[in-house]
Structure formats: C-alpha cells, structure tokens
Structure 1
C-alpha cells in the first residue's frame, strides 16, 4: 500500500472551514474540561505518577500477570484464547462463531478489533457485525474509519449524520436534532440486539488478581452486547492488565477525566464470569506488543486509550483523525502505527510539532 500523506489529507480537512472549526472547538472543550476537573483533585499529579508506576511494574512482570490472569479466568468459567497476531485473532473468533452457528453479532467499541481488521474479516465470511457504539455505527454506515479513539465521529457535523441516517436508515434528512438522531440509532439497533447470536466488546482494563475484564462506556452498548446474546466474546491486548482489584479505582478516576473531562463514565462494567446459561470467551492478543516491550519506546504500552493526547494536539485538532488514515491516530498513533507498517506510516511522525502538550496531559505519563 502507498504511504499515508497526512499533510495532504489534513490540508483537505483544513480547507473545509465549518468542519475544521467545529472539530477544533469540540476537542479543545474536552481538553478544558479535563483541566478543570483535574484541578479539583489536589492529588491529581500523584495519581498520574502512581498510575505510571503501576503500568511500568505490570509491563516489567507481564508474563507472570498474564499467567495469573489466565488461571483466574479459567477458574471463573471463561474460555481463554491466545493470539500471536491479527490473523490468529480473527481466525480464533471465526472458529468460535462457526462452531456456534453465529450469523449476526452486535459489537461494542474495540480499537483492538479495528486494529486486527476483524469486522471486515468476518463480514467476508458471511457474518454480519453491527457496531453498537453510536459514533462507531455512524462511521460504519459511512464506510469510514473512526476519527478518534473515544469520539469516533467527532469530525462530522450534525447535518452530516442527519443526511447519512436518512440515506441508510430512512430518517428525516431535515432533522439534525441530536435527540432525534439518537432515537433513530436506538430504533435501528434494537432489532439487531434482539436477533444477535453473539455479542462482542473490547477491554479497558483487565485485573490479573480476579480474572475480571472492565469496560467503560457512556451509552451502555457493551452491556447489552455482553448480556443479551447466549455467546459473549471479548478481545484484549496484553498491555491492558493491571495487577490488583485495588488498583482499578485509580485508573477509573483517571480515564474519563482525561478523555472527556467527566468525573466518571456512565457505565463501568465488570465481567468476571459468564451469566447463567451463557458462554464467555476472552481472546488475549499480542500482535507486535511483545516486540514493542523489548524496544526503546516500550512505555507506549502504558497507554490507556483515553484520547487526551488527541484533544490537546494542535495538529490533530485542525486536521482530524481521518487524515492519519490509521487505526490509531494523533500523538499515540504516530508512535504506534509505524511499528505495524513502517513503509505505509513512515511520514506520520513528521506530523508532530514537538510542543509537548500530549505528555502534559497523559494520565500515565
């Protein structure tokens, strides 16, 4: 594939003044909310330091914590799978679905599944995947990548969504009221939730001590996907681990405040075992993470995917995540993506102005 030219793609977005102004304003507002809520916690910098140290400790002893996590999950009745790369991850999930006759799936937000190209892989094999997150669903209907790891459709205006829903879901193209558009989305997704043979989601944190996976959302879509269908599958990168249950509140306090400037996400869901009558699988994925762990820039594995670095980045705010043409965009993306495909993403690091703002806001330093 040809190299991504972020400068050229970004220039196109910059030239679209209404979208650029809205995008910049919304992201900077999230950054300002982050600063306000952080300032209200006297121990905020101590929290960042502690979170950074916990992540560093976990990465140092990652093999031990992964073994502990697997043991606890199996004790809890969860099926555990290991995937070395994206291809194996996709193959494992397809085998699980094939053995259960799965044809329809509702999927909560998962950057890892996007990283692995899982949706496209399964759709080619006759399995329908419906994104349950509002932003992800908007992007799916528009056949476009997510533009932000927390707010996937933040680069769009309300009118864009109204037009898209009118074309794909039959709604009124002249109504761009957010409440109306949300109702259109709910009406569409409810029929898929009821019919789904399986549900999926990603993982925000995984607790080695208890074998628990934790998912944070503001819409509750992960809970519906995890609880209604008879089969539930979650995918997680090996870096999602934290050692103990008592470490979790620290990261929960940091995550939403850093991402959106809110005290906490609307839904913080803990899955320790399948519900009665359900089968639960967790796929633990490497996909290059072990190589990063051995590299000089291994601390990138501390990232908790809050998106704060994107909200503050002057380049990202004005050019949008779409201009990076990658699963991970913005400051975290220019480090991660070249490690997946050095040729295709060789130019991304030059999108950095070295202003240091991303480091100032990162909750795990």
Structure 2
C-alpha cells in the first residue's frame, strides 16, 4: 500500500484545506465530547454499567448461534419472517424480492449503517424504486449525493448555509426560507417534505439497535421518531441488522441503553426508544401487515472466530470518532469507507480487506482515547496495531516504507550505531532550521513536515544530558 499515492492521502489533503469542513468539524471537538463527558460524569455507576454490558455482550458472542436461532423462533411465532444473508449482494437481493412481492414503488428508510454497508439504496434505485432517507442527516446527504461522514451524525460536515443552498437546489425553499434563516425553519421544511413520503410509502426499511432473543423483538433508538414512522405507517416493514446485534433478554437491553445515548450525544435517554414485535395483530390500530428481518453476516462470522472478536461488541455510538484527533482533523469522507474514525480503521479492513483499506490503520496516533471513550471497552489501539502487523506481514506497505523501517530496525538493534545516528540527526536538524526555531523540512519525511513545523530538538541527546546530570 503506497501511502503517498493512496486515495486516502489525496482525500486527507482535500479535507485539511476545506474551510467549510473544518468549521463544521469544530462541532465534534467542541460539542459532542463535552456533552458526553458531562453525561458520564453525572452517572457515578458508569464504569459498573460498562463492565456489566461488556460481560453480557461477551456471553452473547460466545453463544451467538444459539441466541440468533432463538430470536428467529420468536419472530416467526409473532408472524414475521427472518432471512439470512451471508453477503451484501444476497441481502440486497432478498430485500428487493420483498419489495417486489409487495408491489412497492415508494420506500422510506430509517437510519441504518448496515444498509449503507451493503449499498442498499443504490441497488434498489437501480431497480426503479424511489427510496427516501427520513433521518434528517441522512436526508441531507442523500440530496447531496454523498455518503455519511459520521455514524450518528451523517451530515455533521455540512454547515447550515450549505444545507439551505442544497434545499434551494433540490426543492424550492418554502415560506421565504433562506440560508440566513434559523435552523428551525430548515428543519420545518424538511419535515413537510418527508411527511409526504411517509404517507405515500409502501415499504419501510429500518435498522435495529438491538435484537432480543427471548421475545423476538427489536429495539430502535432515535431522536426524531422517523424510525417509528417507517415501522408503523407502510404496510410492509423490513428490519436490516448485523448478526451481532442480538442480546439474550429484555432486561439485558437496559445497561446498553444507558451507555449508548450518553456515549453518542451526551443524553440520559433518547427521545424515542421503541420495542417492536413483528406485524400488527387483529385489533391493532397501526403497524405493518407484512414483517421481515434480514440478518447480515458480511464477514462477521469470520470476525467472531478471530482475534478481532471484541469488535463485534460495537454499539455504533460514535464516541471513538468524537474523541479521535485524526477524525477531528479530516472528517469521515477521507476514509473512503462507510465506517470512519477508529472503529472504521478496524472494521473496514476486516469487512473489505487490507488491500482496499490498508491505509486506514495508519490513520491513528495510538493515543488510546478511543478505547477510554468506548462504552464497550473495545481495545481499538491493540487491534489497529495487529492490522498494521498483518499489512506488514503481507507486504502491503510501500517498498520505501519497508526499506525505511528495516533500516530503523537495524539501527535500533545496535546501540553504538543508534547513538551515532542520533547525534548526527540532531546536528543535521539544527542546520535545517536555518534562522527559525522550528524545522520546516525533514529529509525523507515530507509527509510529516509538509503540513506541520517541528520544534527544534535539544542540542545533545538524552543519554548525553543524563550522563552530564549524573556527573
């Protein structure tokens, strides 16, 4: 993988010079992290709940096949149907078949990262279906023909003015709304547009935050209520979920709800937490007549039997993204993947291979903030190191980087050569600084020095200073 010529490097360069993007990313740095800290601090038992949730999830993953079959049994008992999809292509074909049987024309979707993962919208639109995203952020990026830049805030890279101009281009601004209008007016316009789509929909597609094995229920957590409307208004409801979302009991959901909303946006609880149990029963006033669940594997079974098993504990809260300095500098689109940030640096290579995403594990400073913030205590830094090791073992790195690291390994194995090298390097860097107190150019290190100035190192090595101090 040649980092200097990769798509990732090109997109990083574009992101760092995008003024509007940098303005929007301040919302992550200054907003979500502070709100999470306040919400977690206000919950003294946070660490106890965190350990409890990790134990529940580990137990579930150890017996995942058992709980999935139990979930299927109860969904079937409620009158629904469970479909198993090993690949993205299989999942899309199953969903298309359900829509075809329903004679659907109009489809509304709730926010779902797994449907992004399998590229469902593109597949359905190619078959002639009208698909409308109903989460506000997803709706915005659908109009912009972009992909999500954050797993819980898809349009976080957009400013209010950009959204207003987008609405003006895609549908006429109503009631005199302009890019100078307050956000509430833009939201009201989106709401009016989406209401029409809800009422005309033949099929509703949602994800699921959790699946409950003992009852066959699924749980949706939203702040906008659009997931409920997608589930209840259309005559056919399709739930698309990864196989790792199952939990044994209703009681087990409690700790996860307390962690999820605090970690995601700093809320004690989301506006809407809904438990669904399949198609409507005789006498029910609302709900679908036809109910389906599509369980997607897409590499998760392989992950389950590997050293990356704990990645399946992820609840998609986005806390690792919010605390990552790399994500905070470049946003999500630079990762050229559905999943970004630290979890994307692990999940994307595992789903689509290191040959495609071998650059992502290198987009990390290994500062460890992601694991500290993760409500499921996923060892993301360790996994990133392991993926780097795999990339090296499979010679996916560029020849230049392998040669450079090989030379460095040789130097560090020989103390005498190492001390001589450091002395010469310090003197060389002192020459490179010129009249400045900062180093603006590092030989063979242009990727590091192209966008940052380094402070001048000491005029002597650490060992020289130590010996002098010890006398």
Aligned residues: 364
Shift of 1:187: 1.2
Shift of 1:80: 1.1
- Please say if 1:291 is aligned against 2:302: yes
**Farther off after superposition, 225-234 or 271-280:** 271-280
Q: CA–CA distance in 2 between the matches of 1:50 and 1:230? A: 38
Q: CA–CA distance in 2 between the matches of 1:182 and 1:159? A: 13
Q: CA–CA distance in 1 between the matches of 2:101 and 2:146? A: 31
> Which residue number in structure 2 is paired with residue 60 of structure 1?
62
Contact kept, 8 Å, 1:205 with 1:214, in 2: the verdict is yes
Q: Structure 1 stretches (4+) deviating beyond 4 angstroms?
A: none
Q: CA–CA distance in 1 between the matches of 2:24 and 2:158? A: 9
> Which residue number in structure 2 is paired with residue 317 of structure 1?
328
Shift of 1:118: 0.7
Q: CA–CA distance in 1 between the matches of 2:8 and 2:268? A: 34
SS at match of 1:344: helix
Change (3 A) 1:193 1:52: same
What whole-Å deviation, never above 9, does each CA across 1:257-281 have from its counterpart, x for those lacking one? 0000111111111111212461111
Higher relative contact order (CA 8 A, sep 6+): 1
Contact kept, 8 Å, 2:107 with 2:129, in 1: the verdict is yes
Q: CA–CA distance in 2 between the matches of 1:290 and 1:301? A: 10
TM-score normalised by L of structure 1: 0.97
Q: CA–CA distance in 2 between the matches of 1:298 and 1:174? A: 46
Contact kept, 8 Å, 1:303 with 1:364, in 2: the verdict is yes
Q: CA–CA distance in 2 between the matches of 1:230 and 1:345? A: 40
Contact kept, 8 Å, 1:338 with 1:344, in 2: the verdict is yes
Q: CA–CA distance in 1 between the matches of 2:152 and 2:265? A: 9
Contact kept, 8 Å, 2:144 with 2:166, in 1: the verdict is yes
1:1-365, aligned counterparts within 5 Å?
5-171=7-173, 172-276=177-281, 278-339=289-350, 340-365=352-377
Change (3 A) 1:278 1:256: same
SS at match of 2:354: coil
Q: CA–CA distance in 2 between the matches of 1:51 and 1:226? A: 27
Contact kept, 8 Å, 1:4 with 1:345, in 2: the verdict is no
TM-score normalised by L of structure 2: 0.75
SS at match of 1:170: coil
Structure 1 residue ranges without an equivalent (≥5): none
Shift of 1:5: 3.1
Q: CA–CA distance in 1 between the matches of 2:249 and 2:159? A: 42
SS at match of 2:356: coil
SS at match of 1:92: helix
Q: CA–CA distance in 1 between the matches of 2:291 and 2:180? A: 40
Q: CA RMSD in A?
A: 1.4
Contact kept, 8 Å, 2:160 with 2:179, in 1: the verdict is no
Change (3 A) 1:4 1:201: farther
Contact kept, 8 Å, 2:236 with 2:290, in 1: the verdict is yes
**Farther off after superposition, 19-28 or 63-72:** 19-28
Shift of 1:41: 1.2
Shift of 1:176: 4.1
Q: CA–CA distance in 2 between the matches of 1:154 and 1:328? A: 14
Contact kept, 8 Å, 1:158 with 1:176, in 2: the verdict is no
Change (3 A) 1:274 1:4: farther
Shift of 1:77: 1.2
Q: CA–CA distance in 2 between the matches of 1:283 and 1:126? A: 21
